Structure 1
Amino acid sequence: MDKYKVVFHIDEQFKASLVLHNISNLITDIGGDNLNIEMVANGDAVKILLRNSNEFALMLKELEEQVVFCVCANAMRHLEIKKDDLLDFVIIVTSGVGEIVKKQVAGWAYIRP
C-alpha cells in the first residue's frame, strides 16, 4: 500500500497547538508507517520552530522522526530570523507557498486547520 502524503500549512503562531495536535492525532489514527507528513510554516508561525524559549519544543521533538518541518525563507527574512535560531531538524524552503504548491501538484493532501 502507498503511504498517505499530507502537508500541513501553518501561517499563524497561535494555531501551533491545534496543528501539532492534528498531526499527532493523524499519526495515531493512521499509523506513522503509513504516512509521509510535512508541516510548512510561514508568516509568524515560523516562530514556533525557534530553538530558544519554545513552548512547543518537546512536542516538536517527539514528532521529529515522523514529520518534516519546513519554514519559509521569505518569512525568516521578514522576521529577521537566522538559520541558527531554528531547531536543528528544521528545513528551510525558498517559499512556503511554493513548497505547498509543489506538494499539492505531487498529490499530497493539504490541511490548514
Structure 2
Amino acid sequence: MKQLVTAACLAAAVATSAFAEGETHYVAVHVDQNDPKVINMALNNVQNLTNYYESQGDTAIVEVVAYGPGLHMYIPGKSPVVDRISTMSLEIENLTFAACGNTHRKMSEKAGKEITLLDEANIVPSGVVRLVELQEQGYAYVRP
C-alpha cells in the first residue's frame, strides 16, 4: 500500500510540474535617442526577447521608457515606428510604453501647444525616475 501511495504522489508531482507556469521575466527598455536605427533596435529587442521567452514557456513583462529625444518615437508624424508600436501593443500582451512627463512638458512649452502622443504611450512623471523604479522592482535594464 505504501508503494501505491508513493507512486500516486510521484505521478501527481510529475503531472503538476508539467502544467506549472514558467518563469516571469521583467525587462525595462530605455530609449533616449531620436534615431530610427536605435528606436527600431529597441523594438527588435522587445520582439526577440518576448518571442524567446514565450518559446521557453516563460512570460516577459516589458516596459519601453522614452525620454529626451527618444520621446519622438511616440509622436505621430515624427515617429518612424507608429505602425510598429500599434501592432506590437496588440500582439504582445505584457508590453507597455512609458513617456517622460518632463520631456513632454518641455516639448509642449517649446511648441506653444500640447504635443499629442500615441495612444499606446502612458505619461509618467519622469523617464529617468521610471527606469530607476523599474530596476528597484527587479526589472532587467536594456539600452540598445
2:25 aligned residue: 4
Residue from 39, 57, 63 that aligns with 2:64: 39
* SS of 1:13 mapped into structure 2: coil
In the alignment, structure 1 residue 78 sits paired with structure 2 residue 103: no
> What is the TM-score normalised by the length of structure 2?
0.71
Residue from 52, 59, 79 that aligns with 1:29: 52
Shift of 1:53: 4.8
Distance 2:104 2:125 in 1: 10
Work out which structure has the larger RCO, using CA pairs closer than 8 Å and 6 or more positions apart in sequence.
1
How many equivalent residue pairs?
Answer: 112
Equivalent residues of 2:34, 2:73 under 8 A apart: yes
Shift of 1:55: 2.5
Q: Percent identity?
A: 28
* SS of 1:37 mapped into structure 2: strand
Equivalent residues of 2:72, 2:78 under 8 A apart: no
1:88 aligned residue: 119
Superposed CA RMSD in Å reads: 1.8
Shift of 1:89: 1.7
After alignment, is 99-108 or 1-10 more displaced?
1-10
Shift of 1:60: 0.5
* SS of 2:97 mapped into structure 1: strand
2:133 aligned residue: 102
1:87-107 CA-to-partner distances (Å, cap 9, x unmatched) read 112100000011011111111
